[in-house]
Amino acid sequence: MTNPAPEPAARTDRGPAPDVLGVAVLGYSFMGKAHSNAWRNVNAFYPVPRVAQRVLVGRDAGHVAAAARRYGWEESSTDWRSVLERPDVDVVDICTPGHLHADMAVAALEAGKHVLVEKPLANTVAEAERMAAAAAAARARGVHAMVGFNYRRVPALALARTMIADGRVGEVRQVRASYLQDWLADEHAPMTWRLRRETAGSGALGDLASHAVDQVRFLLGSPVTSVSGTTDTFVRTREGPDGTERVTVDDAAWATLRTDSGAVVSLEVSRCATGRKNALELEVYGSRGGLRFDLERLNELQLFDTTAPGDAQGYSRILVTEDSHPYAGAWWPPGHTLGWDHTFTSQAADFLHAIDTGVPAAPDFADGLAVQRVLHAVTDSAARDGAAVRL
Amino acid sequence: MTNPAPEPAARTDRGPAPDVLGVAVLGYSFMGKAHSNAWRNVNAFYPVPRVAQRVLVGRDAGHVAAAARRYGWEESSTDWRSVLERPDVDVVDICTPGHLHADMAVAALEAGKHVLVEKPLANTVAEAERMAAAAAAARARGVHAMVGFNYRRVPALALARTMIADGRVGEVRQVRASYLQDWLADEHAPMTWRLRRETAGSGALGDLASHAVDQVRFLLGSPVTSVSGTTDTFVRTREGPDGTERVTVDDAAWATLRTDSGAVVSLEVSRCATGRKNALELEVYGSRGGLRFDLERLNELQLFDTTAPGDAQGYSRILVTEDSHPYAGAWWPPGHTLGWDHTFTSQAADFLHAIDTGVPAAPDFADGLAVQRVLHAVTDSAARDGAAVRL
Amino acid sequence: MTNPAPEPAARTDRGPAPDVLGVAVLGYSFMGKAHSNAWRNVNAFYPVPRVAQRVLVGRDAGHVAAAARRYGWEESSTDWRSVLERPDVDVVDICTPGHLHADMAVAALEAGKHVLVEKPLANTVAEAERMAAAAAAARARGVHAMVGFNYRRVPALALARTMIADGRVGEVRQVRASYLQDWLADEHAPMTWRLRRETAGSGALGDLASHAVDQVRFLLGSPVTSVSGTTDTFVRTREGPDGTERVTVDDAAWATLRTDSGAVVSLEVSRCATGRKNALELEVYGSRGGLRFDLERLNELQLFDTTAPGDAQGYSRILVTEDSHPYAGAWWPPGHTLGWDHTFTSQAADFLHAIDTGVPAAPDFADGLAVQRVLHAVTDSAARDGAAVRL
Amino acid sequence: MTNPAPEPAARTDRGPAPDVLGVAVLGYSFMGKAHSNAWRNVNAFYPVPRVAQRVLVGRDAGHVAAAARRYGWEESSTDWRSVLERPDVDVVDICTPGHLHADMAVAALEAGKHVLVEKPLANTVAEAERMAAAAAAARARGVHAMVGFNYRRVPALALARTMIADGRVGEVRQVRASYLQDWLADEHAPMTWRLRRETAGSGALGDLASHAVDQVRFLLGSPVTSVSGTTDTFVRTREGPDGTERVTVDDAAWATLRTDSGAVVSLEVSRCATGRKNALELEVYGSRGGLRFDLERLNELQLFDTTAPGDAQGYSRILVTEDSHPYAGAWWPPGHTLGWDHTFTSQAADFLHAIDTGVPAAPDFADGLAVQRVLHAVTDSAARDGAAVRL
């Protein structure tokens, strides 16, 4: 069905899936809206089991009811625990803030629900470990768990991964991974919970570097083995409702990673990169070719192929909308571009496909935990003045 | 609600709109899929009247039933005329081939349905005139008609129009409008109904130039007054199921237009522009600034502002995803891009808004007719060896 | 030596060239500066006969003497006719305004000097015909004549021509040629001799379209057979030293050309294309591939190759600085870019190579005349309301 | 004269400069060719003292004599020490390999010659310190010394520096500096002296990072205070004339720098970045704006200005060829681009201007030494597993 094919894995059956899979989404703001959109549309584009949008869950009864109506849900609820008891709910999709992920995901898995968790998997390594253990236990019972690194479903990035796996850039030596935004460049941007360590865990590191690190793992298929890094907070205090407050998370982070395969990866993330709105940039340099990508132009992949005729070598801008490209064939004819939100729909399709076939979908909670450990190593290394930390 | 605001127009009431507007779509292939997507999603993003996807109509009962299920329709039907009689259908959206548009639209309008017709309005000027007359008559009864030039809902193009209207490029003198595709560049691409004059009317001219001409009218807000043009068919015969057949429509067309406001417009469309997949490009040069756009990067608008500091002037690449940009605020936070299909959803929203408020939405059938006349003038001029035709 | 190799032609000897070729340049302003730069540098980069910068000629004795000193000339002069009599001058390079070209070039050829004339060859077809006749007569005596369409020496464009000649884009069907500048976009830009028909002949047409038409002929190697066109003057009057004056040349011109090989070419030139500084853009669409070029990025050529792997097709941005690329090897290592002025040095090298080997260099005066006829046909067609003119 | 103006400094006179300044260049290969080109052309473009190309110096008598003839020198020599004794030589320009810089530069300064040294200043900090001391002593006698970081004379980078100094991007927080080439990506590229530590000192670090670090200091005007870094050699052995040999320099290097002004700089250089030919990329993010530059498009600077109208903000691509731009006015009219070699000519002009006015030109040997210390700190930090080194 969807491309690229999930890695082969032990299939564990728990009997036939029901005709319709009932879905519940926990959380209804930005990510809840994006995930609702995915569930509303997935059957129109992918030949996966039919879904029913059973219930949208949130804390404010009025707001969640309005959102549920807008986004196509049958019902709304303010009690996520009771939702786990519903027999007509098969899939629980967690879009709440990071510090709530662990409890919700573990409970849902234990209740036998398939669980999709928005990235990052958790705010801490300890939470992520608990979740990964619960997922491993659940898998033995035929229950699936996935973490929502949606950019794995950008056709251009899925194509990049396929090309790398097929050896079309040769041995990968050097990777540049950056994710640059600018919404905190203005020093008058107000204080929010996202800028406090106790609620957000970290700043650009958890929010942006998690995506970048997942992409490095996805593209290269090789674990990160050492990390040297540093972080900084450019705007140290901001105005909030209660006056001036100290910002306790990072505005930006930098790291150099080494992978088991011998590649060196530079990593840079920022919320203060003025003029860069949503620039997840990836560059991969191999012995036979190179690849470049920018999320602000997500329909494009650039490929340099050293086996092309000598006078014609250059980075080719591939418009990744052909039927032969991953995911693209499910949507529109060649040349008709996708947007940011389509990645969530394709992600939902891959998860449904896993549930349907029993072949687990990536990235699973172990992947999410691995990312978490890299992020933690950046903090560790920063505390040691940049000295490398082995993983 | 949506931006940019439709032009003020005489509001004609026909009583309150029902709580839910029932929609029928005629046609279920490429455009039927795109329009179904719009109706399925419009309420999730825009505060417009709620819609119900009543019925999808097509000729093949099995295929249309399957499509209806996939795309979220309550029912399917093979009899479009009976659908016009249903009291629970308020909106009829016509996505069939061009030669069927006139009969269906006129009948639907006469049945009191609001009608949206996919572009181009019709295959001939005569058909378009009949449709425009029917729409004018219907409007007097409070019935709305719109033609689906969906690119008016690309945020970057809506922004361009606003900027031009606000005088930010000054007096527009010169426009370059091209729409380049390449799916017929391969001489082995097979013969289809799209390449026969009797079924398709014309080739790149009707299919691609219609969009480009509509944009010129949209952006400049000034009618085309003269046309000099030519066309060509590069691949004269193609192989079909019945052997070699003569291609009777154009592969490409060129024209120079003049507008009532004094601007000169170059127009070029092709299905043989190798490597250009869906390149609707627009360039506007005015006395105070310039604008550039390419549909393959539909989230971007480039602006040159001669009032910027002298040492800093250059084309600015605006990522048109800010809340302050037309349509963009309805979707995702800044930096999160849209795709090709989002334009249909925004188009549906604008049409629903018109129905709700009674303020007609553009482009109406008169606009569709005006485009048709320009296309016809290209053919006329081509037959006169390029001599200009006045409109 | 230089690439691409000139077309094979009948070699006509006039005895061995002297050890050092003496050069005279007529004209010392913009073009005189650029051509002086070429003669000063040509021996440092190309293995061609050594040149001596004998004399720079101009009307103002003081100014030309200062320029001669600055630009490396042995002497200056105000009498171009006497320069033609000097036995130590072998090459005469004419950089004066267009209406002076014919008399100077014909006299120089008759005096047995090799003649390089800056483009356009002349202001009128009649002058160009007289020059071409003189050049044909001179060639019989082993005397060379070339017209300075310097962009033929842009490595990227020379590469494009080679690729087309080698069939790498297949049969060329469609060409887009435009040359856009903006120095007249400001309606307060003052009146000059360039805006009067009697001195300048035409506006953007002669100045900019001459380059574009030469490139079409160069790239395709096929003559233009018909022309449909129009022109316009957006700013009809301008302020000059003597008050408001009527502009009597075009600000912009448009044409559709057809070539003997069956290609259709759109041509558009303007001095009012706000924000476009020196944008000679060429797009070539063939049955097997496509090419794109923009003079503002003159080190780059974009190639689309339909024979590349299907999932990897896209326009490749070739940085045309490799040793294998035309002209590039004479300069710097790969990746080290050239500027606008280097084209004049390579042009001088090609002319010296022709003198050295006896194999004529292109473009010759017959080429310059052919361009002139196309430009004239645009004016003719414009006077006939756009009806096509056959050549 | 040239822009930007050199920093004010104590002027130390040593009497009037001679009418013509005699120049000697030591070295005649790649850099000798580039510097010869500068001296041959500087008087044609800049109003600086006249120069005479006295003598080109090299080890191979035949080769250097041929090069001298080609590049316009009066004489050649194989004895650099005797050249220092010539009274008709005022300027000594050192283009030899790095390990020869110190002896030559110190001797030349002591002989009273103005000295220009190609970058990097030296292979080691110790050599650079000796040179800086000699330059300081010489300056007291009115003798000038400069190091050839030619990219300071790229108009776009000089403009960037002016904009930063003028506060147009606000307080600079984050800088991305990379210099990517690919000539060692092919593992079959042969062993050379450049890949041995004893001759080359280092690999990409000394060759490429020196430019990048100089730009950071140039653009920000603030010293680097701490460095964390690592290096790698992707291809560990290469084939040479004597068989397989171990590569003892780095292929790539990474570092995070902090400046006295509080900015954080990521630095990445490589000779294995497949498809990147000469990509010195600089990105500067400040509280009020951003800047971007790529040497492969050296005529362009991109500026993001947060004070532009909200709906029109985007990176502007400035074509840095206007008279108002640094250096550009000396060359050609707006829109006519420069190449890589023009930077050397402008550099020569700045040095001659310094000699003429007595106001020292930047970057001086102290700047060259500061760069060397940063590079050394990268090596130091790499040996300490990435732990930061203070400067």
Q: pLDDT > 70: what percent of chain A?
A: 95
Nearest to A166 by CA among B85, C269, C312: C312
Hey, is C266 helix, strand or coil? strand
User: Which of A117-121, A204-208, C283-287, D17-21 is least confident?
Assistant: D17-21
Residues B120 and B203 sit within 8 Å (Cβ to Cβ): no
Residue C31 confidence (pLDDT) above 70: yes
Among chain C residues, CA nearest to A314 = C318
Residue C9 confidence (pLDDT) above 50: no
pLDDT digits (tens, 9 = 90+) for D198-210: 888 899 999 999 9
- Copy the structure tokens of residue B390: 């006045």
Interface test with C, best of D36, D46, D296 (most C CBs within 10 A): D296
Write down the pLDDT at residue D17: 54
Write down the pLDDT at residue C198: 85
Residue B8 confidence (pLDDT) above 80: no
Across the interface, do D273 and A169 touch by the CB < 8 Å criterion? no
Residues A366 and A355 sit within 8 Å (Cβ to Cβ): no
Interface test with C, best of D336, D338, D344, D346 (most C CBs within 10 A): D336
Nearest to D373 by CA among D358, D360, D389: D389
Among chain C residues, CA nearest to A300 = C314
Give the pLDDT band of residue B4 (cuts 50, 70, 90).
very low
Say how many CB pairs under 8 Å bridge A and C. 60
Residue A366 confidence (pLDDT) above 80: yes
ipTM, two decimals, is 0.94
pLDDT digits (tens, 9 = 90+) for B250-279: 999 999 999 999 999 999 999 999 999 999
Mean pLDDT score, A350-377: 97
Strands (E), D149-263: 172-180, 224-232, 237-240, 243-246, 252-259
Q: How far is C110 from chain D (nearest CA, A)?
A: 32
Write down the pLDDT at residue D13: 44
Mean pLDDT score, A317-332: 98
The torsion angles phi and psi of D238, rounded to 5 degrees, stand at: -140, 160
d(CA B55, CA B108): 15
Say how many Å lie between the first and final Cα of chain B, rounded.
Answer: 35
**CB-CB neighbors (< 8 A) of B174 in chain C:** 234, 252, 270, 272-273
Across the interface, do A70 and B37 touch by the CB < 8 Å criterion? no
Write down the pLDDT at residue C272: 98
Mean pLDDT score, A359-384: 97
Residue D100 confidence (pLDDT) above 90: yes
* Residue B205 DSSP class: I
Between these two residues, A2 and D46, which has the higher pLDDT value?
D46
Q: How far is D339 from chain C (nearest CA, A)?
A: 4
Across the interface, do A386 and D187 touch by the CB < 8 Å criterion? no
Give the pLDDT band of residue C122 (cuts 50, 70, 90).
very high
Nearest to B319 among D308, D314, D317 (CB): D314
Write down the pLDDT at residue A2: 36
Give the pLDDT band of residue C378 (cuts 50, 70, 90).
very high
pLDDT digits (tens, 9 = 90+) for D286-337: 999 999 999 999 999 999 999 999 999 999 999 999 999 999 999 999 999 9
Which stretch of DSSP H or E encloses residue D343?
helix D342-357
Q: pLDDT > 70: what percent of chain D?
A: 95
Give the pLDDT band of residue C126 (cuts 50, 70, 90).
very high
Write down the pLDDT at residue D6: 38
Q: Quick check: pTM over 0.80?
A: yes
Residues B386 and C388 sit within 8 Å (Cβ to Cβ): yes
Contacts 24+ apart (CB under 8 A), A238-246: A238/A187, A238/A189, A238/A190, A238/A191, A238/A195, A239/A188, A239/A190, A239/A191, A240/A190, A240/A191, A240/A192, A241/A191, A245/A191
Going along chain D from its start, the domains and CATH numbers come out as: 20-149 (3.40.50.720), 155-297+299-338+372-383 (3.30.360.10)
d(CA A68, CA A60): 12
Residues B166 and B160 sit within 8 Å (Cβ to Cβ): no
User: Which of B83-87, B325-329, C198-202 is least confident?
Assistant: C198-202
Mean pLDDT score, D8-16: 43
Bridge partners, residue D253, by sequence: D231, D269
Cβ-count burial D154-177 (b if 16+ within 10 Å, e if not): bbbbbbbbbbbeeebbbebbbbbb
Among chain D residues, CA nearest to C330 = D33
**CB-CB neighbors (< 8 A) of B311 in chain D:** 159, 163, 318, 322, 324-325
Say how many CB pairs under 8 Å bridge C and D. 88
d(CA C341, CA C343): 5
Query: What's CA C13's distance to the chain center, in Å?
Result: 26
**CB-CB neighbors (< 8 A) of C312 in chain A:** 163, 168, 303, 305, 316, 318
pLDDT digits (tens, 9 = 90+) for D371-381: 999 999 999 99
d(CA B198, CA B194): 9
Mean pLDDT score, C273-295: 98
Among chain D residues, CA nearest to A255 = D256
How would you write B311-333 as a 3-class SS string? HHCCEEEEECCCCCCCCHHHCCC
Helix C61-71 to helix D30-45 angle (10° resolution) is 170
Write down the pLDDT at residue B13: 44
Give the pLDDT band of residue C199 (cuts 50, 70, 90).
confident
Q: What is the torsional sign of CA B77, B79, B85, B90?
A: positive
Write down the pLDDT at residue D10: 38
pLDDT digits (tens, 9 = 90+) for C228-248: 999 999 999 999 988 999 999
Across the interface, do B336 and A338 touch by the CB < 8 Å criterion? no
Residue C293 confidence (pLDDT) above 60: yes
Among chain C residues, CA nearest to D342 = C339
Chains that touch B (3 or more CB pairs under 8 A): A, C, D
**Length reported for chain B:** 391
Give the pLDDT band of residue A16 (cuts 50, 70, 90).
low
Residues B200 and B251 sit within 8 Å (Cβ to Cβ): no
d(CA C320, CA C334): 8
Query: What's CA C337's distance to the chain center, in Å?
Result: 21
Across the interface, do A296 and B319 touch by the CB < 8 Å criterion? yes
Write down the pLDDT at residue B15: 52
Residue D92 confidence (pLDDT) above 60: yes
Collect all residues with Cβ–Cβ distance below 8 Å to D135 and sequence separation of at least 6. D105, D109, D115, D145, D364, D365, D366
Among chain C residues, CA nearest to A334 = C311
Across the interface, do C318 and A311 touch by the CB < 8 Å criterion? yes
**CB-CB neighbors (< 8 A) of D185 in chain A:** 285, 287, 306
